[in-house]
Chains A and B, each alone.
Chain A
Amino acid sequence: AQSVTQLDSQVPVFEEAPVELRCNYSSSVSVYLFWYVQYPNQGLQLLLKYLSGSTLVKGINGFEAEFNKSQTSFHLRKPSVHISDTAEYFCAVSEYNQGGKLIFGQGTELSVKP
């Protein structure tokens, strides 16, 4: 079985500052890793995913994440955030070739202040 832990429930940050949202996972099998974003009253939008290969994954809206197998982490980063990045961010894991069956973390609320 897999599990996901997002280490921060809320992250306040000023506009144009860098941000890192932390995610650790546990699994006894090979997994895919995902970051989704949810804007108020919306569904989930995929930011980026790690399937295999290069451990640095680039996604939409300037976000990137690094897969670290030894530390079982998949932290999300952005070098300079905008007000429009204010949203809830979810880290998720699935088994290999089971990308629709996701185990989610609790979510991290990113609040970007002017």
Chain B
Amino acid sequence: ETGVTQTPRHLVMGMTNKKSLKCEQHLGHNAMYWYKQSAKKPLELMFVYNFKEQTENNSVPSRFSPECPNSSHLFLHLHTLQPEDSALYLCASSSLVVNTEAFFGQGTRLTVV
């Protein structure tokens, strides 16, 4: 596989469920990101990880819990979500040496019911 891969592509979950989104990059990058794309709103950066360490959390509610076990994998653990959390969640990666571009995955379409 190449590029940035996200699973699952679609997820429907109830407000009391716990689920996780997975992202894997095969580009040798050492920075990974979660973005949220809601209807009628610009894409928003949620979290930034550099060399597995979280360097940025843009005031994201604690019901979203990221995890980065190594530079190739990024997870977003979800619990007690609200219907307004329904969105497309996009993972991206970039090099920290020459950080001139983000490479995006296909996204996970999340619906909270």
Q: Count the B residues whose beta carbon is within 8 Å of the partner chain — how many?
A: 26
Verify if B90 is at the interface (C-beta below 8 Å from A): yes
Beyond the given A42-B106, A100-B102, A104-B44, could you list 14 further A-B residue pairs with CB under 8 A, ordered by the A residue number? A41-B109, A43-B90, A43-B104, A44-B43, A44-B90, A44-B92, A51-B100, A98-B99, A99-B94, A100-B31, A101-B45, A104-B43, A106-B41, A106-B42
Query: What is B's interface to A at a CB cutoff of 8 Å?
Result: 4, 6, 31, 33, 35, 41-45, 48, 56, 90, 92-94, 99-107, 109
27 interchain pairs, CB-CB under 8 A: A32-B100, A34-B101, A36-B104, A42-B107, A43-B4, A44-B43, A44-B90, A46-B101, A51-B100, A90-B43, A92-B43, A97-B99, A97-B100, A99-B99, A99-B100, A99-B102, A100-B31, A100-B48, A100-B92, A100-B101, A100-B102, A102-B35, A102-B102, A104-B42, A104-B43, A105-B42, A107-B42
